[in-house]
Amino acid sequence: MSQPISAPIAHRISRLWPLVSGGTAVLVALALGVIVGVRSGQYGIDTEWLEELVEHRSPVWDVPAYVMSFLGGGWFGVILVPVGVAIALLIARKPWSALYFVVASALSAGTVQLLKSLFARARPEEILISADFGSFPSGHVANAATISVALAILLQRRWVWFAGAAWTALMIFSRTYLGAHWLSDTVGGLLLGGAGAVFVWAPLAARLQKEWSRASQSP
């Protein structure tokens, strides 16, 4: 008959699983980056997905795709959104949560730029917008995943998870629709963005839980 797991061991396991899951996601993303970096051509799923989207391009879809592109990157998505959320958390007297959100966002953006330079993957020729060199991984999708996971961790609401998943999926669609990325670029961004949010959360989990528990007990 198996013995129940002791409380100290269970506590250590609960502290380790975010690092293990986040580390696995990072390793998968890096492996994907190495594969696409050394491969001279594109994968079938990349080209087939892009060809399908290009075939169905129309002004009806162009506008929302451009809007998503603006909201998810550049000064708005990478700087204004994280800073705005952090300020809102500070106003709500949650400094540790604000620190967590800013650090997770900065880690995601920094890692993306590092890997773009490292793998130097060319963007699709059918691109509709101007973008810097380096297609892998997608910074927009990484940013969307980081924000979605971080907010879901902080707010602990099921609807936040669903909203974050929908937002990230729309970002994947918009970036590939615009030809800014191959589909595999967005998968790499998704893995890195989510992993970054989990990595930064792991060492701050106890402080964040205490901060939100104290807020819920306040009159």
pLDDT in tens, 23-65: 666 667 667 666 666 555 567 889 999 999 999 999 999 999 9
Give me the helix-helix angle, 158-177 and 59-72, nearest 10°. 120
Predicted TM-score (pTM) of the model is: 0.86
Kindly state the percentage of the chain with pLDDT values over 70: 79
Query: What's the rounded Cα separation, in Å, for the pair 213 and 125?
Result: 51
Kindly state the percentage of the chain with pLDDT values over 90: 61
Nearest residue to 113 (alpha-carbon basis) of 105, 129, 100, 69: 105
